[in-house]
Chain A
């Protein structure tokens, strides 16, 4: 995913496996990122996304979109969006589609004053 985003001209700060929501938001704040993304394969996407959204508020980063990808059953996509996740990329999403939707989120963020 990092390779594909870099090929599309994005700067990617990859934190590696098993980063906690707190670590992610700390880096997001320090680096002033445009989009925050998490890949979750274990089925724990609902509680982790809930932590991500809560940590985002704690870090006052509500203006930065959060995206989640991974092994997400169709029934959970809506639940994640309702929680406040901006985009969900379940297994099977074309990589070009992921790049397009993430860059669109980044562009819309940059347009804001």
Chain B
């Protein structure tokens, strides 16, 4: 088909032909079956029949810095600008189970997200924001059960019922071991905690997505689309098996599984990947888990676009990159989207950059017409052929991971971690030797950068304010040792930890204290040196 000696390939190494035709799609009846109708298995064309005609995707910019009060202000600002839901970024100490006062937390309080030490801080974070009506996403993993407990207490204080709460807890610890790296406990007890959260939410917080299975971070760390698909599916299989082993019904918990993918600039491969992801999950749900409930086969996802594609050089170019990524996520059928700020290769975004990212979503939504019909790229010879190819390659790789015993043993052996490092290094070399063009970096370079950006500067007093707040908290609360002892008993016995956690949170136990209970019960994990 191709006229060149060597075909170009996608970033994941799939050769691209000069021209695609009907011959690439095989039997038309079989194609109809593979793509089906939107809102019906295998959901290739989208999780809902009406898609954006009925409801646009949720515009959810990831935000957080400083203290709860600082971030609360940005939340109010974003909602005032037309954002439709919230997404909380936590600082590293919160993600790693350390109070802001811990010595190891010193340099990191409030830096990459908001510092949350107590249920009071969580209540402050949502001051003036009605939790019964808002959907809130939490990018939190090792300490996800604790953050959920704080959130439930904050909602309780507002008078919002658990059954009303909508939103998503990332709670995907496997990809932390693989790529994102904010793990605390060893894999097995970490999985148990993730399972406790899903089990608890399935009955108690039924509108909430208790897990968001995430290929995004592996992709950002450097893996390709096929690996992103395979890791995400293998991780989802591992969580589902854990819950099924507890005696839970797949048809009951899987409808609240949420997923998270990257969308880079390779728009056709990304759209094909997202369509293939829906088809893969529908098959896995049906064939491996015997799902009969179509909602349990329906993959819904959030796209965080791609920060790794942004460049520090000529940063305004990132606006263009982000726009294309957003378009890709929409054409791929995303349920919610975050667009990167153009300054994120250098710092957390300014108000101005965040607003422009939100405006990007609004322009794609309202000015392009892209939301007016469902799955507009369906039937494209190229996109359908690429969807089939990605599905086939990902299925093969899922088989390789199965052969290693599944996601958990593969991760314990460091296999995905090594694949990612190798793939990332290959991409770096491609930029270095000019086989991949990166505008402003290895092509069209400007010696003197034209734009001097005004970057976000964290108020360095935020940490002092948070420490003072925590001091007052300790001084003003009653003894919590019996609540911590009850949590410890649950952790040791295998009883679901959520109710004792919520009670301890209500009583004023801190994130560090609660994490310490788990550290004592489960031990901590240190990554083996792989390279």
Contacts and interface: CB of A to CB of B under 8 A. Distances in A.
B346 A94 contact: no
Contact of B347 (A44, A71, A95): A71
Contact of B107 (A51, A91, A94): A51
B527 interface: yes
A49 to B, nearest CB: 10
Contact of B312 (A48, A75, A90, A95): A90
A42 B111 contact: yes
A12 to B, nearest CB: 8
B346 A71 contact: yes
Given A17-B181, A47-B107, A95-B432, A3 B531 contact: yes
B455 interface: yes
A48 B182 CA distance: 19
B111 A91 contact: no
- Which of B96, B346, B421, B441 counts the most chain A CB atoms within 10 A? B346
A113 interface: no
B373 interface: no
A47 B96 CA distance: 19
A74 B449 CA distance: 12
A4 B425 contact: yes
A92 B312 contact: yes
A110 B527 CA distance: 32
A16 interface: yes
A4 B346 contact: no
Given A2-B531, A3-B421, A47-B106, A92 B345 contact: yes
Contacts of A3: 421, 425, 531
B108 interface: yes
Given A3-B421, A91-B312, A42 B346 contact: no
B112 A17 contact: no
B92 interface: yes
A96 interface: yes
A95 to B, nearest CB: 5
Nearest to B343: A73
Contacts of B107: 44, 47-48, 51
B63 to A, nearest CB: 15
Contacts of B96: 18
B458 interface: yes
Nearest to B112: A42
The majority secondary structure among interface residues of chain B is loop
Contacts of A51: 107
B368 interface: no
B435 interface: no
A20 B348 CA distance: 23
Interface centre among A43, A48, A73 (most CB of B within 10 A): A43
B104 interface: yes
A42 B428 contact: no
Interface centre among A14, A73, A94 (most CB of B within 10 A): A73
B306 interface: no
B112 A43 contact: yes
Interface string B496-531: 000000000000000000000000000000110101
A42 B209 CA distance: 28
B111 A43 contact: yes
Contacts of A95: 428, 432
Contact of B458 (A4, A43, A71, A94): A43
B425 to A, nearest CB: 5
B108 A42 contact: yes
B92 A42 contact: yes
Interface string A2-25: 111000000000101110100000
Given A17-B527, A20-B104, A96 B432 contact: yes
Contacts of B92: 42
B419 to A, nearest CB: 13
B311 interface: yes
A95 B312 CA distance: 14
A47 to B, nearest CB: 4
A74 B346 contact: yes
Interface string A39-73: 00011100110010000000000000000000111
Interface string B302-331: 000000000111000000000000000000
Contacts of A48: 107
A73 B346 CA distance: 5
A14 B531 contact: yes
Contacts of B347: 43, 71, 73
A92 B421 contact: no
Contacts of A91: 312, 345-346
Interface string B345-365: 111100000000000000000
A69 B297 CA distance: 44
Nearest to B110: A43
B529 A16 contact: yes
A68 B111 CA distance: 18
A83 B526 CA distance: 31
Contacts of B458: 43
17 contacts: A3-B421, A4-B428, A14-B529, A14-B531, A17-B527, A18-B96, A20-B104, A44-B107, A47-B107, A73-B346, A74-B346, A90-B312, A91-B312, A94-B432, A94-B442, A95-B428, A96-B432
Q: Which 4 A-B pairs have the closest CB atoms?
A: A92-B312, A47-B107, A44-B107, A3-B425
Interface of B: 92, 96, 104, 106-108, 111-112, 181, 311-313, 345-348, 421, 425, 428, 432, 441-442, 455, 458, 526-527, 529, 531
